[in-house]
Structure 1
Amino acid sequence: MAIIVHGATGAQGSPVLAALRAAGHHPTAAVRDSTKVTGPALSIDNDSVESLVRAYAGAEAVFVHLPLASPDQQVSYAQKIGEAVVQARPGRVVFSTSGYPTELRDGTLTAHGMLAAALAESGVSYAVIAPRIFLENLLLPVTLGPAREDGALRYPIRDDYPVSWVSHLDMADIAVALLTDNSVTGVVTAGALPPQFGADLAEGFARYFGKPVVFEAQEPEAYGELIIPMFGADAARPVVDSYHFRWTQPGEVIDEERSAQKLLGITPRTVEAWLRDLAV
């Protein structure tokens, strides 16, 4: 089965590529530098319709997610990918929103919403995977280190904030199911049900580490000070602002009716199982 995987060297695409190979498929990595990939690969330019059409032509399925970029650049990527799908008409497109909203509070479509709408209008078989927050955020040294060494899992959400957490490994399982079976279309929500609170996360870490771990709600600005040395002030600011917004919200829980659990029979890993699979 000819399957194209965008960003196959990154945090989202790499697990999808690996899961497809484990399932006996022979996917092709679509990346900026094909020399960095072992196995079939091709170089693409997300801002070139011609480049994307060449990649998609004849493909039975394509896995897509928008790379990190400025909002304007992501809009350009979304438009180019959408146009390439219309022109090349691959057999199936599976798009991950990567936890981003598809529209703003005033109803304006984001880049992710634009691409989801373009796929819906393309006439090509498609599915949109809609996660909330990735468990991999907890692996940053500023969070994992204190959890392992001090028994304190610190993260910038409230203690009473329920989240349908999901891992990149779970996303890969969902993506493989959707790439290889066209029977489910439209939005598929991805994440834990019931949702988890900070204490639930800490309990999973405690079971994995074999020692007590407690959750500590962290002020977004304090979290920002820790990640600035890693990402830079400009990149850290939108992240901090997103957590300020979360502090004003009741939670982030997926729609059960459109969940991977209900539509695909795929239940996300527990926190302990996720940590064990990664062997962190």
Structure 2
Amino acid sequence: MTYVIHGATGAQGAPVVSALAAAGRPVTAVTRNADTIVDGARVVAAAYSSPADLTDAYRGAEGVFVHLPVASEENRRIFAGNILTAVRAARPARVVFSTSGFPIDPAVGGAAATLAAGLADSGVSHAVITPELYLENLLMPYVVDSARDRGALPYPIRADFPVSWASHLDIADAAVALFERTDVTGVVAVGQYPAITGPDLAQAFGARLGRDVVFEPISPEEFRVSVAPVIGEAAAADVAGAYQAMSALPGRSIAPETSAQKLLGITPRTTSQWLADMGL
């Protein structure tokens, strides 16, 4: 029995691999290239586009950690369907799905909502981790370099927009706990509570960098232009659209009753703790 981890060489999956390996658990890293070396894990090549590959990877697994990759929404919908086909066929003992901040409200729709609903109907033990926004977004050169060089932290939210920020490290902590805590099912919200605002982020960055840093709200279009060279035009357009829709909301705070703090006894890192962990 092994734990199958998607994105094992990426920002979301790598911390889960590290945490499981440190606990002495057998880990299988899912990658696009079978020759990839992942410390603490055996490697299998499986493509999101192949239900057969995914079924082979999931069969006999003690747990599967999955998230949908950064891609066009059309491709993400296809990937979600393929993952569900594989889960239903292979029936791993447990699936932990991180939404990566995408909505799972059926009324809103989308690939993440499709995958969450499909897992609920699959009969397979599962939990759905629902972060709001990732602190790692702030590590993009456009953002962190501006904080260092200009003393301004640019991001496409209002200054008064409260967010329950979480790091990939927090998601890994929750995922590992959820593999053990099979009594916890359904949604588990991971993020800081109470939620914090942009100026709170800037204050933490300033304290860490040893200089004054102010928060600088920017438009979703400015953000799209800045991230397109990193994640591609189609994905950048989808991300900008998500931030545009977000601008109509009062904030993005987790609900304490479904929080990892209450359900798992895990408290996410503060921004200052996360900055220290990142070595900034």
Q: TM-score range by the shorter chain?
A: over 0.9
Tell me which moved more, 44-53 or 4-13: 44-53
Tell me which moved more, 168-177 or 221-230: 221-230
Q: Is the 8 A contact 2:71 2:234 kept in 1?
A: no
Partner of 1:82: 84
Tell me which moved more, 120-129 or 234-243: 234-243
Give the ranges of 4+ consecutive aligned residues of structure 1 lying more than 4 Å apart after TM superposition. Answer: none
Can you list the C-alpha shifts for 1:254-278, whole angstroms capped at 9, x where unaligned? 1111010110011110111111111
Partner of 2:6: 6
Partner of 2:29: 29
Q: Is the 8 A contact 1:29 1:37 kept in 2?
A: no
- Structure 1: which 5+ residue stretches go unaligned? none
* Number of aligned positions between the proteins: 278
The answer to whether residue 211 in structure 2 is matched with residue 220 in structure 1 is: no
Normalising by structure 1, report the TM-score.
0.94
Query: Secondary structure in 1 aligned to 2:35?
Result: helix
Take 1:201 and 1:277, find their aligned partners in 2: how far apart are those partners?
Answer: 16
Tell me which moved more, 179-188 or 254-263: 179-188
Can you list the C-alpha shifts for 1:43-68, whole angstroms capped at 9, x where unaligned? 11222222111111111111111112
Take 1:108 and 1:232, find their aligned partners in 2: how far apart are those partners?
Answer: 24
User: What is the 5 A alignment of 1:78-117?
Assistant: 78-103=80-105, 107=107, 109-117=109-117
Change (3 A) 1:232 1:8: closer
Q: Is the 8 A contact 2:73 2:238 kept in 1?
A: no
Displacement after TM superposition at 1:231 (Å) = 4.1
Can you list the C-alpha shifts for 1:171-219, whole angstroms capped at 9, x where unaligned? 1111111123212111101111000101110111122112222212123
Can you list the C-alpha shifts for 1:203-256, whole angstroms capped at 9, x where unaligned? 111221122222121233333333344445443322222222222221111111
User: What is the 5 A alignment of 1:1-280?
Assistant: 2-38=2-38, 39-103=41-105, 107=107, 109-280=109-280
Can you list the C-alpha shifts for 1:135-176, whole angstroms capped at 9, x where unaligned? 111111111011112221111111110011111111111111
- Structure 2: which 5+ residue stretches go unaligned? none
Query: Secondary structure in 2 aligned to 1:34?
Result: coil
Query: Secondary structure in 1 aligned to 2:245?
Result: helix
Take 2:103 and 2:80, find their aligned partners in 1: how far apart are those partners?
Answer: 14
Q: Which amino acid in the other structure matches residue 277 of structure 1? A: D
Tell me which moved more, 54-63 or 95-104: 95-104
Q: Which amino acid in the other structure matches residue 262 of structure 1? A: K
Query: Secondary structure in 1 aligned to 2:4?
Result: strand
Normalising by structure 2, report the TM-score.
0.94
Displacement after TM superposition at 1:78 (Å) = 1.1
